[in-house]
Amino acid sequence: MRGGIIKGAPAHQRGAAAIEFALIFIPMFALFYALVSYGLIMALLQGMTLAAEEGARVAVAVDRSAYADTPAGTDEYMNVVTPRVRNQVGLSLAWLPDTLKARVLGDGNVQVGVVLNGAVLEVTVRYPNYADTPLIPTLVLPGIGPVPRVGNELRAQANIRL
């Protein structure tokens, strides 16, 4: 090796590795970023689904037949069930950071939807306005577009027949 040039390497090959790295780096980084960001979103969605299921299970512990089968009785039943469901969903999502928990649950878990449709109780956990406040920033790549490409709302739902 003389003067920083490898003996036997043509002069026009100098810097080829740097150019190849630059060409490969962008798609590889995009792939890595997509894997990590979609992994985080899937973990959050799985946690939200589990929390909604746990909330629905808590509703089974309240005997619906103890309340009159009238609109007033349904209201009484929902007044008992709703706080229990919301509390359980909050406990199931206690692992979330406080800022994320505030977006998903709200103050006192009021954003957890609890609706009774006939004999089916529906528990909904949502991450509203995901596009405005994503878990990790969206990366916009030319020719590929936004990474991760996710809708405006993340939603998990569980139904249970009472």
Alpha helices in 61-152 (DSSP H): 71-92, 98-105
- 55 touches 89 (CB < 8 A): yes
pLDDT of residue 66: 84
Q: Say if pTM beats, i.e. exceeds, 0.75.
A: yes
pLDDT of residue 32: 92
Q: Is 24 helix (H, G, I), strand (E, B) or coil?
A: helix
Q: How far is 14 from 11, CA to CA, in rounded Å?
A: 6
pLDDT of residue 158: 96
- 104 touches 86 (CB < 8 A): no
pLDDT greater than 70 at residue 136: yes
- CB within 8 A of 93, min separation 6: which ones? 47, 48, 51, 101, 104, 105, 125
Of the ranges 4-13, 50-59, 64-73, 142-151, the best mean pLDDT one: 50-59
By CB atoms closer than 10 A (0-12, 13-18, 19+), residue 74 is middle
